[in-house]
């Protein structure tokens, strides 16, 4: 990460940001909910801060959310450098060395993965996960992309496109949106959010991953500072097995899972205006036994699969009704055109006259197909006077 300490550069950044993609005018940014963060029960740390400088905790470290879009404004740059100065072992010495350097190499920009027909679903999910790992987890103290959970899916997909353009480090909530964006073309894969609330040393931590379901198997994609708290292979037979695997992973870090939230399947149409359903099922792990939790998770999984099945049946029903209407219209068209066609066919008139006669009424079926059917009926001698 680089940034200029000169006032001129800061002013230029602020001036350019007026024409950036973000519509927000706030220089200081508050955090969005749902990111992998921790919040202490005490509010003393936030005392004396204005509402525009609200902070959340990410593993005990305060972080902000960039609401002003790109290019990043000067106050946000300065705030990030201050954060790095506090948490990096070399502190201010490292910051001064970077900011005063005459030349800094350009960081590598990972390529967005391209799906190939020869790729299997697990291979594609692994390619997406590898892309996220190349973007890296965001340790800057500022979340670069604002994710509002109530925002329509179409708007969140625009944010995901911006992530691929900027190629900046991301947190877990951003990874969920990016995962949805990169799997929209895989209609055989169902996607849904899985959120966790855990407790460790008096602090509450929040984390979210993107659950995936395909061919009777569950898995996840996502981002975390812990390798076993993000992606899981598409190998779990039930949703409860997947959730319990995350619980076991948290237990290795001495975290106690307090709540698990499961959302609904996310539509594959990136243009829909409905928001993502983040917490259709909420389970209090500290009050519900594992067996009861398993039953609730499997019931939720069945309900989601049934809902998808009903949607497919409804779609097939609409297609059948449309085809039936076309068939009825086609039959009426043949009945209407038949007398004139028989007359012209018997007297040996050229086919061009028949085409002229039919051109104004044949709108649902191809004329060539229509004439082929009419000729077939003539040759079968369904009507008299056929040659």
Catalytic (active-site) positions:
172, 207, 224
Dihedral sign computed on CA atoms, order 207, 280, 251, 218: negative
User: What is the DSSP code (8-state) at residue 203?
Assistant: E
Structure tokens at 275: 């928001």
Contact yes or no for 17/74 (Cβ under 8 A) = no
Contact yes or no for 64/31 (Cβ under 8 A) = yes
Structure tokens at 2: 């680089």
- The tokens 């680089």 sit on which residue? 2
φ, ψ at 193 (rounded to 5°)? -80, 145
**CA dist list (Å): 217 to 185, 201, 306, 312:** 19, 35, 16, 20
Query: How far is residue 235's CA from residue 220's CA, in Å, rounded to a whole number?
Result: 10
Phi-psi region of 254 (alpha: psi -120 to 50; beta: other; left: phi over 0): left
Contact yes or no for 195/278 (Cβ under 8 A) = yes
């Amino acid at each position: 990460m680089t940034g200029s300490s000169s006032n001129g550069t800061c002013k230029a950044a602020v001036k350019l940001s007026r024409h950036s993609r973000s519509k927000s005018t706030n220089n200081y940014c508050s955090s969005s909910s749902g990111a992998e963060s921790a919040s202490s029960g005490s509010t003393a740390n936030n005392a004396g801060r204005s509402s525009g400088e609200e902070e959340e905790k990410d593993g005990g470290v305060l972080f902000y959310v960039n609401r002003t879009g790109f290019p990043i404004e000067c106050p946000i740059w300065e705030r990030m450098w201050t954060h790095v100065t506090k948490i990096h072992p070399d502190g201010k010495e490292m910051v001064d060395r970077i900011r005063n350097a005459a030349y800094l190499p350009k960081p590598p920009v990972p390529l967005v993965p391209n799906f190939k027909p020869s790729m299997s679903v697990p291979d594609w999910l692994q390619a997406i996960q590898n892309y996220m790992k190349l973007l890296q987890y965001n340790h800057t103290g500022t979340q670069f992309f604002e994710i509002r959970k109530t925002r329509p899916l179409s708007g969140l997909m625009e944010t995901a496109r911006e992530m691929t353009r900027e190629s900046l480090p991301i947190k877990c909530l951003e990874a969920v949106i990016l995962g949805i964006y990169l799997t929209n073309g895989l209609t055989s894969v169902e996607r849904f959010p899985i959120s966790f609330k855990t407790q460790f040393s008096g602090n509450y931590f929040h984390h979210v991953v993107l659950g995936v379901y395909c061919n009777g198997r569950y898995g996840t994609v996502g981002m975390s500072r812990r390798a076993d708290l993000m992606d899981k292979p598409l190998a779990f037979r039930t949703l409860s097995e997947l959730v319990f695997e995350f619980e076991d992973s948290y237990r290795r870090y001495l975290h106690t899972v307090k709540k698990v939230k499961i959302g609904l399947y996310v539509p594959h149409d990136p243009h829909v205006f409905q928001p993502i359903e983040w917490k259709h099922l909420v389970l209090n792990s500290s009050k519900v036994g594992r067996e009861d939790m398993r039953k609730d998770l499997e019931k939720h999984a069945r309900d989601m699969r049934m809902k998808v099945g009903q949607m497919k049946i409804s779609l097939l029903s609409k297609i059948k009704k449309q085809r039936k209407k076309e068939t009825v219209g086609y039959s009426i068209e043949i009945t209407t055109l038949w007398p004139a066609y028989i007359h012209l066919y018997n007297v040996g008139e050229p086919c061009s006259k028949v085409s002229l006669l039919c051109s104004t009424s044949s709108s649902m079926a191809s004329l060539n197909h229509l004439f082929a059917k009419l000729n077939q009926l003539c040759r079968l001698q369904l009507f008299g006077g056929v040659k």
